[in-house]
Structure 1
């Protein structure tokens, strides 16, 4: 699917895609924090970048493949809380609500995600139930 570098980033950081999540998707930079990784993963869902989602998933919990619903349109991300996950930490959590529309119906996903740094890169581990 993709997105032009000058378009507003889907993570709603206020930056343009090329200066925000796009640089992570294209592998020209890596997220420095767990929140930045979570935002980039949300944006990957929004632009349909399953390959990035798999690359940024911890190997112990990563699925073999990921099929995204092309009819699902991600509309807004609200970050509610973060713990740890800074540039000098190895673990962190991010609680968020991701809003979407599918088949004309609005809905949202609330998740409290865990992240772990491996070899200097943040990876999505799993969701806290």
Structure 2
């Protein structure tokens, strides 16, 4: 078990892996038990690019229920394949530009440990989206 002081699942993962000898850490959240192993492998392959510090997965499969469901996190992707926004609520003028965020993250171990030393951002706390901490800090 992890300590009770953690603000997010990412913080809990960092506690668990701090003494593990690994370069890349993959975190599959508990509400994603049926992840296709090929998607996990694609996420791992992303780190072959030495500039990638952390990554997540988004699905093009998003339906009307996902658009209006605040428990379904939406992500907008820019032309370079980077997340440009994470939202629980959509904005009318943005409908059609969202992907469904999949609860899986990959990190370089040193970036994960650095991430968890950062203060929680205002947006992360307000929207309960831990990825906003990394996005605000401009991790790649």
TM class by shorter chain equals under 0.3
Instruction: Give the structure with the larger helix fraction.
Output: 2
Q: TM-score, normalised by structure 1?
A: 0.27
